[in-house]
Structure 1
Amino acid sequence: MKTMGMLLSASILVLFSGAHAYDGKPAPMVASEAPKELEGVGIDEKLGGKIDLSLKVKDDNGQEVTLGSFFDGKHPVIISPVYFSCPGLCNFHLNGLTDALKLMDKDWTVGKKYKLLSMSFDSKETPDLAAKKKETYIKLYERPEAAAGWHFLTADEPTVQAITQSLGFKFKWDEAAKEWAHASAAVIITPDGTISRYLPGIMFNPQDIKLALNEATEGKIGSIVDNLVLYCFKYDPHQSKYTLAAFNLMKVGGAVMVLVMVLWLLPFYIRSRRSKNNTAGR
């Protein structure tokens, strides 16, 4: 019996080993590994870094201008690195951004409190293509006045590399797919060209955009309510969105309670003062 058990065990081991024998093919990729096509692609956030505002780009009218011409020292700028002939991700990004902007108040129309630069990272693309893309998205945005503040830019290869490197935006050509492999994000830039915040993805929350823009100007472009909301929220990089700042919210709540108490007690104080004055006058 003991010998029979040993033979049975050995047979099972042989069968198991045969089922997992090396067949000369590469091992399948595990979930934690990135596809080879995406190696070297992504975004390295460079918060606090500066972009070179002296770099020259071409606007959607074909005019050569400096990047600094879109910065007035007072209003923030959103930069969206895309390429205009992209068959997928860039369109999803621009569509998502446009949908979020449409949900924002008219006071937050592109060009009023901030500017938006859709920058092509494909140096082969032309201002004509940029103009067509702009026409499409201004129509989609349904606010024609935004054309003065939403610019679609192209540039030569050295300029593209300088801008994308300063943003930490990494991309590469996928020869098999015949398209660029890249990530997606809207980058918030302060009025002086400092990188303030990254909003990654293709879907955007209008409130996050407003908070990021207001944050980039230290509360100078938002209303009192916007600034109060900014005070109560902080950006969570793990969730890629603004979340409630509990401590600040508690401080605001405490201040409101004190104010309510003061307003509630004020009539009693006034009546008490009047009563004393009347008594003293007799």
Structure 2
Amino acid sequence: MRWWGKAWWLVWSLSALGALSAWAQRSGQQLAVFEGVGIEEQLGARIPLDLTFFDEEGQPVALREFFDGRRPVLLALVYHDCPMLCNLVLDGLTRTLQQMSWTPGDQFEVLAVSFNHRETPEQARRQKIHYLEMLGKPAAGAGWHFLTGDSTTIRALTDAVGFYFRWVPEKQQFAHPAALIFLSGEGKISRYLYGLEHDPGDVRKALVEASEGRVGTVIDQVLLYCFQYDPNENSYVANAFNIMRLGGVVTMVVLGITLFLFWRRERRRQQETLHPAG
């Protein structure tokens, strides 16, 4: 190889190493942004219901006012100035609610709580108007609440549910996870569903599960028995063992009814033979 060929190869190698180093540095910086950000599930834990937030009208309201001991509560932790992710979470939730026969305020409550303590009830009010219009169910306004609060109150709630976020000064935005959190009517955490889009059937099952059977139909209870939440799939999947067991019970019931009807018919026939009419 001539000397200029070696020189060209050296320059190219140094350039490639420089680009690789810059990429690694940028990647490291991006990863550092998400340090301490994520969710640590607190299944079975209870959130502090005495925490006081502000509703869309600026009125102080304790969390316990949304927990009646019976109906489940769906919690979405977002912030209204979020440039992308939070809007996608609320957009996806709204599309899911559109496809459900249940309505917030009837079978369950929805709380959209801002984790940005700088946000105001006025911002929450605008968000509520926007998403209720998008949902197209005016009655849902009684059951879908957009709350704001101070930093101490917000942190107490987010810590209780294991939702960890951080402010990124250079980006002027929060780094945070995306999930829907389901709670019982007493404030007990029962399920987390991750991501931006959720199957309406999964959300309904999670609500039935959170209610511990207090809402939903018999069919909902049967479906919940036959389907089990799979964290790897982030969805409810068929439980083959329970389906087989339920199938066995149904078979025994049907067989029992059939035998009873057969026995009763035979007994009636014998009585008619022994005691003919006329």
TM-score between the two structures when normalised by the length of structure 1: 0.87
> Among 60, 85, 91, which residue is 2:87 paired with?
91
Aligned mates of 1:239, 1:34 — CA distance in 2: 27
1:235-259 CA distance string (max 9 Å, x none): 1111111111111100111122223
Correspondence 1:158 to 2:152: yes
> Among 118, 126, 136, which residue is 1:124 paired with?
118
Residue matched to 1:203: 197
Residue matched to 2:35: 39
Residue matched to 1:48: 44
Aligned mates of 2:136, 2:13 — CA distance in 1: 61
Secondary structure of 1:197's aligned partner: strand
Q: 1:33 to 1:220 in 2, by over 3 A?
A: farther
The equivalences for 1:1-282 within 5 A come to 19=13, 25=21, 28=24, 35-105=31-101, 108-281=102-275
Task: For 1:185, give the aligned amino acid.
Answer: A
- 1:132 is displaced (CA, Å) by 0.2
How many percent of aligned residue pairs carry the same amino acid? 41
Task: For 1:95, give the aligned amino acid.
Answer: D
Aligned mates of 1:156, 1:28 — CA distance in 2: 38
RMSD: 2.5
Q: 1:271 to 1:22 in 2, by over 3 A?
A: closer
1:56-75 CA distance string (max 9 Å, x none): 10001110011111111111
Q: 1:117 to 1:266 in 2, by over 3 A?
A: same
Residue matched to 1:4: none
More off after superposition, 259-268 vs 269-278? 259-268
More off after superposition, 268-277 vs 203-212? 268-277
- 1:224 is displaced (CA, Å) by 0.7
Q: 1:22 to 1:132 in 2, by over 3 A?
A: closer
- 1:32 is displaced (CA, Å) by 11
Secondary structure of 1:187's aligned partner: strand
Runs of 4 or more above 6 Å deviation: 31-34
Aligned mates of 1:281, 1:73 — CA distance in 2: 62
Task: For 1:218, give the aligned amino acid.
Answer: E
- 1:266 is displaced (CA, Å) by 4.0
Secondary structure of 1:28's aligned partner: helix
Task: For 2:44, give the aligned amino acid.
Answer: G
Task: For 2:34, give the aligned amino acid.
Answer: L
Aligned mates of 1:27, 1:98 — CA distance in 2: 38
Aligned mates of 2:118, 2:30 — CA distance in 1: 28
Task: For 2:214, give the aligned amino acid.
Answer: K
Aligned mates of 1:27, 1:179 — CA distance in 2: 23
Q: 1:33 to 1:198 in 2, by over 3 A?
A: farther
Q: 1:277 to 1:70 in 2, by over 3 A?
A: same
1:118-152 CA distance string (max 9 Å, x none): 00000000000000000000001100000010000
Aligned mates of 2:84, 2:199 — CA distance in 1: 21
Conserved? CA contact 2:184–2:212, under 8 Å: no
Secondary structure of 1:122's aligned partner: coil
**What stretches of structure 2 of length at least 5 have no aligned partner?**
1-8
Task: For 1:153, give the aligned amino acid.
Answer: L
Aligned mates of 2:201, 2:144 — CA distance in 1: 19
- 1:225 is displaced (CA, Å) by 0.6
Task: For 1:251, give the aligned amino acid.
Answer: R
- 1:278 is displaced (CA, Å) by 2.0
Task: For 2:80, give the aligned amino acid.
Answer: F
- 1:19 is displaced (CA, Å) by 4.9
